[in-house]
């Protein structure tokens, strides 16, 4: 068995959290080994953020082609060439992964291919595909092995009729009909894509609304838009069972209803990849498989940290980046502050998009805030009218205090939430934002208008 190191840091997992940590650590003068058993970039680049957003963009092009006459443009929608869509998606993914691999190499990070496991508080053994083992010593180990799709008890994902998001990204045809189990971000995004591609889609969600973690008014707006698009959903009812049929799959719900479709996408969440990592032997504590950490991503073992989907923080690539950077800076002797997870922007890239930052009205009330709020309808925003999108920007603020939450629905609002994040994280007062001039005509004016109204000086507001 070959030995390497000691490295200052050994990072286990080359996804968003792991590679961000590695890049920041070498910037701070550390020597780093990055262990990856699959492709650099992890879930986000290979099976998550990037391929799904490519599909969503193809879906948008399909819808725009169908609706071209509305804008006076002659175009005929002839259908979806799935091979063409997949070639486009795969090219976006492969060029992005290649770019990342080049960046990592150019920074002098040693990429070690294989499956790693802890064999002590500063030691990782990596088993390559050919069975060869290599031992890596690190002054510090960063666990960043991410997450994988999970299912419900008794519901087996067979990859044929009952699929996960991994399989959904590899489909070679547009299904005639799909049941999406789970109305969270992943389920809603796939429902949006498949509907644009022409499938009949039904979402089943046990909680009372789609995107149950979002502001209720945003969920309701999305539901209205989905209803208009012909996406069906069954809310507040639990999945009871699924069985494959000659034509596909039959799903029964606790209310006795049965739904038939060609495919069932299981999108009920993702679980941590922590089995077989040697955590217990190394003394790393877990809860439901997630590695337990403090607010600086430290495990109970002084030489081991953990970041990304492996720890119970929001499962987002940019959270992984931030946690990876935080750990690198802590190990680099800087003094990074803990992450304020409320201040992390969240986007669902469906049509329409749903975006938010800060807290919901419900959470603000639970925390004892007295609130004022304004909902600015995109009907009053000329750029949204030009795009033909409907939606809203809702801002909640503490009475005589800062903005606490910004919640948006509409085409392209994901791009607007970056401003929302500055407003929330700099604890801006509505009156301060109202002083800022937004360019006309843009959708960003809706953010400005909402704050003008909240500051008591509404401009383009009826009634």
Ligand X SMILES: Cc1cc2nc3c(=O)[nH]c(=O)nc-3n(C[C@H](O)[C@H](O)[C@H](O)COP(=O)(O)OP(=O)(O)OC[C@H]3O[C@@H](n4cnc5c(N)ncnc54)[C@H](O)[C@@H]3O)c2cc1C
The residue among 254, 195, 224 whose CA lies nearest residue 354 is: 224
Write out the two tokens for 441: 């005509």
The answer to whether 13 and 307 have CB atoms below 8 angstroms apart is: no
CB closer to ligand X, 115 vs 375: 115
Question: Residues for the chain: how many in total?
Answer: 463
Chain residues binding ligand X by CB under 6 A are 12-18, 35-38, 42-44, 47-49, 52, 115-116, 144-147, 165, 186, 273, 277, 308-310, 315-318, 320
Write out the two tokens for 83: 């091979």
The residue among 317, 348, 343 whose CA lies nearest residue 410 is: 348
Least distance to ligand X, CB of residue 21, Å:
9
The answer to whether 451 and 404 have CB atoms below 8 angstroms apart is: no
Look-up: residue for tokens 């049941």?
Answer: 179
Least distance to ligand X, CB of residue 125, Å:
10
Number of Cβ within 10 Å of residue 95's Cβ equals: 10
Least distance to ligand X, CB of residue 80, Å:
19
How far is the CA of 258 from the CAs of 163, 233, 240, in angstroms? 19, 13, 10
Write out the two tokens for 420: 């929302």
Q: How far apart are CA 460 and CA 462, in angstroms?
A: 7
CB closer to ligand X, 49 vs 80: 49
CB closer to ligand X, 49 vs 249: 49
Least distance to ligand X, CB of residue 81, Å:
22
451 is catalytic: no
Least distance to ligand X, CB of residue 193, Å:
11
CB closer to ligand X, 116 vs 430: 116
Q: Which of 440, 451, 460, 462 is catalytic?
A: 440
CB closer to ligand X, 147 vs 305: 147
* Residue 395 CB-density burial (10 A; 0-12 exposed, 13-18 middle, 19+ buried): buried
Active-site residue set: 440
């Amino acid at each position: 068995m070959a030995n390497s190191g000691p490295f200052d840091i050994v990072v286990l997992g080359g996804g968003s959290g792991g590679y961000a940590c590695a890049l920041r650590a070498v910037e701070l003068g550390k020597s780093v080994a990055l262990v990856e058993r699959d492709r650099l970039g992890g879930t986000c680049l290979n099976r998550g953020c990037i391929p799904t957003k490519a599909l969503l963009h193809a879906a948008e092009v399909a819808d725009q082609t169908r609706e071209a006459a509305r804008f006076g443009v002659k175009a005929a929608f002839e259908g979806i060439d799935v091979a063409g869509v997949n070639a486009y998606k795969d090219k976006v993914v492969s060029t992005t992964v290649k770019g990342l691999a080049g960046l990592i190499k150019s920074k002098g990070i040693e990429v070690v291919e294989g499956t790693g496991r802890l064999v002590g508080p500063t030691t990782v053994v990596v088993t390559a595909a050919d069975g060869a083992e290599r031992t890596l010593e690190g002054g510090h180990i960063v666990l960043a092995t991410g997450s994988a799709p999970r299912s419900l008890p008794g519901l087996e994902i067979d990859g044929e009729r009952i699929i996960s998001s991994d399989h959904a990204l590899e489909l070679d045809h547009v299904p005639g009909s799909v049941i999406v189990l789970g109305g969270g971000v992943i389920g809603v995004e796939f429902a949006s894509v498949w509907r644009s591609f022409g499938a009949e889609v039904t979402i089943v969600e046990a909680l009372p609304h789609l995107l149950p973690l979002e502001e209720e008014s945003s969920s309701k707006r999305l539901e209205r838009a989905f209803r208009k698009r012909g996406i069906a959903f069954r809310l507040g009812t639990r999945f009871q069972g699924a069985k494959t049929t000659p034509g596909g799959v039959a799903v029964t719900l606790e209310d006795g209803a049965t739904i038939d479709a060609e495919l069932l996408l299981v999108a009920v969440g993702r679980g941590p990849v922590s089995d077989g990592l040697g955590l217990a032997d190394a003394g790393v504590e877990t809860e439901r498989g997630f590695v337990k950490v403090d607010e600086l991503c430290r495990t109970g073992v002084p030489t081991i940290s953990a970041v990304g989907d492996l720890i119970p923080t929001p499962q987002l690539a940019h959270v992984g980046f931030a946690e990876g950077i935080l750990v690198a800076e802590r190990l680099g002797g800087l003094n990074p502050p803990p992450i304020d997870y409320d201040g992390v922007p969240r986007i669902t890239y469906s049509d329409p998009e749903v975006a938010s930052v800060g807290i919901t009205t419900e959470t603000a009330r639970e925390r004892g805030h007295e609130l004022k709020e304004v909902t600015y309808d995109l009907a009053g925003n000329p750029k949204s009218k030009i795009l033909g999108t409907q939606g809203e920007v809702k801002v909640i603020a503490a009475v005589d205090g800062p903005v606490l939450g910004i919640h948006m629905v509409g085409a392209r609002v994901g791009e607007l939430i970056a401003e929302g994040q500055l407003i929330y994280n700099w604890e801006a007062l509505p009156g301060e934002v109202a002083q800022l001039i937004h360019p006309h005509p843009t959708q960003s004016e809706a953010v400005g208008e909402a704050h003008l109204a909240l500051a008591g000086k509404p401009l383009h507001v009826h009634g």
